[in-house]
């Protein structure tokens, strides 16, 4: 695909997007939240850790501090203890208190719905802002997290690891209305199939259109053993349930531990 024309590259990218939509029609932000404030806080906490770890600490955090007004009154030490396991907890606690105070002072305690306003909040960059905008406010944006950067390079969508350049290069390939879904679907593939160290190429649904296919395990059976979450061996019924519209809450009620 080294001699690929810009038009062919765009068509291939959109084919990957469509196929991922068939495999992961339920792709979404995997942080647990019920409102914009919770997603904003959870996304700040997700830096340098996993959504699984964040989801483990946010129930207690949000029970204690359910909104910006409560969080702004918190002691930094108390917040640190609640989020310690997410790593970099001192900086994150400082950011959470700062953004909560800024929300009160500048937005009456509400999370703003524009990129310009969000990135002015302490601890909030473009990646965090686009997660909130796309998943709460319906404003499409490309989330250049570690999975999106890794996979967009493997797909040949970009040759950069600079988040701003990656965002620009991906944006050129898709309709703006699809930016959030592109991010969610690529992140889902990165967590389940296209791993950083040992991608499961032989079990990848988009290997046919990937110029990096073959850098990982190519044997289909061996590759299948590398799949994670609901794609892991023996969980085919879980994947099908999600495709059919089941929610994580429903699956948890049935005894499925989503995070394993």
Q: ∠ at Cα 55 (254, 203), nearest 5°?
A: 70
Q: Is 15 a catalytic residue?
A: no
Tell me the helix, strand and coil percentages in the chain, rounded to 5.
60, 0, 40
Query: Is position 257 annotated in a ligand binding site?
Result: no
Query: Is position 201 annotated in a ligand binding site?
Result: yes
Cβ 128 vs Cβ 33: under 8 Å: no
Q: Which listed residue (32, 51, 145, 169) is catalytic?
A: 145
Cβ 113 vs Cβ 137: under 8 Å: yes
Which residue, 14, 1, 19, 9, is CA-closest to 204? 19
User: Around Cβ 60, how many Cβ atoms within 10 Å?
Assistant: 12
Separation between Cα atoms, residue 134 and residue 204, nearest integer Å:
26
Query: Is position 114 annotated in a ligand binding site?
Result: no
Query: Is position 210 annotated in a ligand binding site?
Result: yes
Separation between Cα atoms, residue 6 and residue 199, nearest integer Å:
27
> Which two structure tokens, joined as six digits, stand for 166?
């990656």
Q: Is 145 a catalytic residue?
A: yes
Q: Which listed residue (32, 51, 92, 127) is catalytic?
A: 127
Listed in sequence order, the DSSP H helices in 26-88 are: 36-45, 51-64, 68-72, 76-83
Which residue, 208, 204, 206, is CA-closest to 192? 204
> Which two structure tokens, joined as six digits, stand for 216?
């990982």
Q: Which residues are annotated as a binding site?
A: 194, 201, 204, 210
Catalytic residues: 127, 145
Q: Which residues are annotated as a binding site for [4Fe-4S] cluster?
A: 194, 201, 204, 210
């Amino acid at each position: 695909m080294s001699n690929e024309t810009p038009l062919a590259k765009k068509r291939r990218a959109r084919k990957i997007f469509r196929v991922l939509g068939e495999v992961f029609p339920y792709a979404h932000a995997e942080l647990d939240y019920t409102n914009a404030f919770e997603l904003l806080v959870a996304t700040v906490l997700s830096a340098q850790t996993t959504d699984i770890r964040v989801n483990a600490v946010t129930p207690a955090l949000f029970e204690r501090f359910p909104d910006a007004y409560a969080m702004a009154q918190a002691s930094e030490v108390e917040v640190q203890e609640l989020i310690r396991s997410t790593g970099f907890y001192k900086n994150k606690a400082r950011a959470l208190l700062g953004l909560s105070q800024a929300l009160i002072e500048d937005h009456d305690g509400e999370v703003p719905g524009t990129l310009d306003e969000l990135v002015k909040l302490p601890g909030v960059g473009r990646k965090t802002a686009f997660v909130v905008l796309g998943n709460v406010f319906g404003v499409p944006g490309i989330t250049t997290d570690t999975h999106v950067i890794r996979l967009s390079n493997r797909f040949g969508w970009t040759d950069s690891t600079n988040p701003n350049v990656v965002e620009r290069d991906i944006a050129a390939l898709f309709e703006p209305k699809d930016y959030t879904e592109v991010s969610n679907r690529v992140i889902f593939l990165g967590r389940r199939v296209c791993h950083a160290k040992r991608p499961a190429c032989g079990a990848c649904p988009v290997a046919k259109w990937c110029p990096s296919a073959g850098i990982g395990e190519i044997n289909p059976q061996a590759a299948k053993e590398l799949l994670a979450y609901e794609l892991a061996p023996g969980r085919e019924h879980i994947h099908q349930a999600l495709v059919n519209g089941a929610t994580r809450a429903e699956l948890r009620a049935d005894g499925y531990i989503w995070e394993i």
